[in-house]
């Protein structure tokens, strides 16, 4: 599913963010990525949706070798990955419905299919009655639900979330975590970079800790392991 062998990432300014990472993640796993600020967590997750490319090393995702993925195959690759950000990244002038449908329209689904799939996914995140709202008219938790709906509408095999609860209050964060658990229960692999000690220590999953660009800990049902 995800195989990394000795992956390095050095940015053009000379900063080495990843220093030889090797890891295997199987289909259906739920993995937290933890570690101090600047450790390389974002770089690690950005490799997974090809926002950054490795400087060296091998990276296989969904049986595609990212080390020599051709530019023309990038859209196909990205269709199998859903990405969720701390700041939602919704299009502010489009309705909830349109924000999600957009992801399908670009792959030329029929209007009937689009409608069905958007409404199904809004149902899953509990926002069917807000399809016509604009993002600004929703709470932070609701906006994050929309971004989750958008990320999964193409039925990706992997969902990547970079600090998805970072802008949310604790109660809303728990609700969002329930949505991720539901998506995971349906077989989707989840990779989540997080600073939430409470979440990691309560909803036990695999924990990969990164420090100075290296994996320093990889535990089944692990602990957060830092003070905050
Ligand atoms: P984390 O997500 O754990 O805070 P990052 O992956 O964002 O860590 O950053 C790891 C290191 O790489 C840091 O030193 C950071 O300053 C540097 N870095 C991140 N993105 C870039 C970039 N686009 N250009 C140069 N350096 C970067
Ligand atoms: P670039 O390759 O220059 O990053 P893209 O058009 O691919 O340009 O990406 C535009 C924005 O969409 C970026 O902020 C990127 O982080 C985000 N993005 C890239 N891939 C995905 C994806 N599969 N799902 C959601 N957002 C994505």
Nearest to 21 by CA among 13, 32, 30, 39: 39
pLDDT of 105-157, one tens digit each? Answer: 766 678 888 999 999 999 999 999 999 999 999 999 999 999 999 999 999 99
pLDDT at 19: 98
What's the CA-to-centroid distance between 22 and ligand 1, angstroms?
Answer: 19
Distance (Å) from CA 39 to ligand 1 centroid: 8
| Domain annotation for the chain: domains and CATH numbers | 27-41+73-219 (3.40.50.300)
What pLDDT score was predicted for residue 43? 97
DSSP state for residue 57 in the 8-state scheme: E
- Give me the residues of the chain with pLDDT under 50, please: none
Nearest protein Cα to ligand 2, atom 2: 51
- Residue 194 · residue 165 · CB < 8 Å: yes
21 lines ligand 1 (CB under 6 A): no
As a whole number of angstroms, the distance between CA 202 and CA 143 comes to 24
Q: Residue 106: its pLDDT value, please? A: 64
Asked if residue 40 has its Cβ within 6 Å of ligand 1, the reply is yes
Question: The dihedral of CA 75, 59, 45, 62: what is its sign?
Answer: positive
């Amino acid at each position: 599913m995800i195989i990394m062998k000795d992956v390095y990432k050095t940015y053009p300014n000379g900063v080495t963010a990843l220093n030889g990472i090797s890891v295997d993640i199987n289909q259906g796993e739920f993995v937290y990525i933890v570690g101090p600020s600047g450790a390389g967590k974002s770089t690690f997750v950005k490799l997974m949706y090809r926002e950054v490319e490795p400087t060296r090393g091998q990276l296989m995702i969904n049986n595609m070798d990212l080390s020599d993925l051709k530019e023309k195959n990038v859209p196909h690759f990205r269709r199998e990955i859903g990405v969720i950000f701390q700041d939602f990244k919704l299009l502010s002038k489009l309705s909830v419905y349109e924000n999600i449908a957009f992801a399908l329209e670009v792959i030329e689904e029929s209007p009937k299919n689009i409608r069905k799939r958007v409404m199904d996914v809004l149902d899953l995140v509990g926002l069917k009655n807000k399809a016509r709202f604009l993002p600004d008219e929703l709470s932070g938790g609701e906006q994050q639900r929309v971004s989750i709906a958008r990320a999964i509408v193409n039925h990706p095999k992997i969902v990547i979330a970079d600090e998805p609860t970072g802008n949310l209050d604790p109660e809303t964060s728990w609700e969002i975590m329930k949505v991720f658990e539901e998506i995971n229960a349906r077989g989707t692999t989840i990779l989540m970079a997080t600073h939430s000690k409470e979440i990691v220590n309560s909803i036990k999953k695999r924990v990969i800790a990164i420090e100075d660009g290296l994996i320093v800990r990889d535990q089944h049902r692990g602990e957060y392991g830092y003070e905050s």
